[in-house]
Structure 1
Amino acid sequence: MLYYRDKGKGKTIVFLHGFLENSRMWRFFQNKLSKKYRVISIDLPGHGRSSKKTNEVNRMEDMAKKVNKVLEHLKIDEVIISGHSMGGYVALAFAEQYKYKVSGLGLFYSTTLPDDDIKKEQRLKAAEVVVKNPKEFFRLSIPNLFAPQNVPKLQSEIKTAIKWAKHASLTGISAALKGMRLRKDRTDVVRDLGKPIFIIIGKYDNAIKNSELIKKMEGVKKLSIYELETGHMGALEAPEECLEILQTWLKQNYK
């Protein structure tokens, strides 16, 4: 079973981390929100303390099933599920497979849209490169996920993100890249969910095509979209702002 952190009591919020991250990225949010909610953060396959056993390809659907195993173990049958980047892809797959368990959905710097052909090719190349030279891969790729103006002042946060990446197994990293490139369009999952949804995007996020996502979200009911002055790593670039958005959204939708 996947490693998880479980803290607090009340309505359950599940946090899923992104590619090269682990459940530690949610510690700030978990400590704050657990005063009012039950907050569970999970290490996805190949990452963090779930890094030892992994498949050659970790599809989002398969990761979602393993997340559900954790919830079954904890006897939890209703959650607000949210995720950053890859974690958002897994959250969407979870909402598709276990819609009856989802009372809310959150996407942190993530998208319902699949990879285009160029991105798919980049994923395959990255899967090869990271196995050959992981240190160089982390050094070059992770800072680029931050907004350019934030890089000089957030060196400590960048080092933390690189440290998290080192806790992922190389096979797990490769498997995640291969799995992400195979994911399908899950816009209809959001349209059909019928529950409160939030999406946080970064103005300087080069990893997500925000304009295309926003266009796809037109007409979706119970949806709130927020934009911050960040890159792709808003949980590290603007944690207080992200937390405030989440707390406000929770108060508005779960009284």
Structure 2
Amino acid sequence: MLYFTEKGKGNTIVFLHGFLENHKIWEYFKNELSDNYHVVCIDLPGHGNSANLTNEVNRMEDISDRVNEVLDFLNVKHAIIIGHSMGGYVSLAFADKYKTKVNGLGLFYSTPLADDEVKKEQRLKAAEVATKNPKEFFRLSIPNLFAQKNLSKLKSEIEEAISWATQTSLVGISASLKGMRLRLDRTEVIKNLGKPVFVIAGEYDNAVKTEELKKAIKDFPNVSYYTLPTGHMGMLEASEESLQVIKAWLKENNL
């Protein structure tokens, strides 16, 4: 089973981290929300304390099955699923397969859109580079996830993110990149979910095509869309602002 932490009682919120991260990225959110919610933070395959699924490809659908195993183990029948980046892709795959278990869905600097051909090729190259020289890959790629104009203010946050990345197995890095590359477009999953959805986007996010994302979901009545002045790592760049968005969305939708 995947490694997880839990805290609090009440309606369950499941937090799923992104690529090269682990459950620790949600620590602040878990502590702040656990007064009113049962908060579960899961290490995805090959990340943190969770073993990898396979030596080849971590498909988002397969990872969602492992997330469901954790919920079954905890006897959680319904949950609010919130995912950052790759965790958002897993959240969408979960909502696609286990729709009746989802009370609400949150995409945290993530997108339902599939990779285009250029991005697919970039992921293959990244998998090759990362497995050959992971330390250099982390050093070069992770700072680019933050808003470049704020880099000097975010040195400790960047170092923390790099430290989390070093806890990701080489097999997990490659398999996850290949899995993200093969994910489906799940825009219709959001449209047909029938439950409240929020999307938090970063004004300076270079990892998500925010304009395409906004256009794809602009007419969906169940979606609340927020923009913050951050890059791709809003939970570190603007943790308090991000938390307040989540709290307001939960309250507005009686979740």
In the alignment, what sits opposite 1:84? 84
Aligned to 2:11: 11
Verify: 1:59 aligned to 2:59, yes or no: yes
| 1:55 Cα deviation from its structure 2 partner | 3.8
Q: Which residue type is aligned with residue 10 of structure 1?
A: G
Partner SS for 2:124: helix
Q: Alignment RMSD, CA only?
A: 0.9
1:49 alignment partner, SS class = coil
Work out whether residues 4 and 40 of structure 1, in 8 Å CA contact, stay in contact via their aligned partners in 2: yes
Residue aligning to 2:186: 186
Gap regions ≥5 residues in structure 2: none
Aligned position for 1:138: 138
User: CA offset at residue 254 of structure 1?
Assistant: 1.4
Q: Secondary structure of the residue that 1:48 maps to in structure 2?
A: coil
Question: Partner letter of residue 226 of structure 1?
Answer: Y
Asked if the contact 1:25/1:235 (under 8 Å) is kept, the reply is yes
Which amino acid in structure 2 is aligned with residue 211 of structure 1? E
For 1:1-255, list aligned pairs within 5 A. Answer: 1-51=1-51, 54-254=54-254
CA deviations 1:85-105 (Å, max 9, x no partner) are: 000000000000000000000
Equivalenced residues, count:
255
Q: Sequence identity, in percent?
A: 64
Runs ≥4 residues deviating over 2 A? 51-55
Task: Work out whether residues 51 and 167 of structure 1, in 8 Å CA contact, stay in contact via their aligned partners in 2.
Answer: no
> Aligned equivalents of 1:186 and 1:55: distance in 2?
25
Conserved? CA contact 2:191–2:222, under 8 Å = no
TM-score, normalization by structure 1: 0.99
Calculate the TM-score normalised by the size of structure 2: 0.99
1:194/1:221 contact within 8 Å kept: no
The letter for the 2-side match of 1:81 is I
Q: CA deviation at 1:222?
A: 1.8
What is the CA distance between 1:51 and its match in structure 2?
A: 3.6
> CA separation in 1, counterparts of 2:88 and 2:31?
21
Q: How far has the Cα of 1:52 moved from its partner? A: 5.4
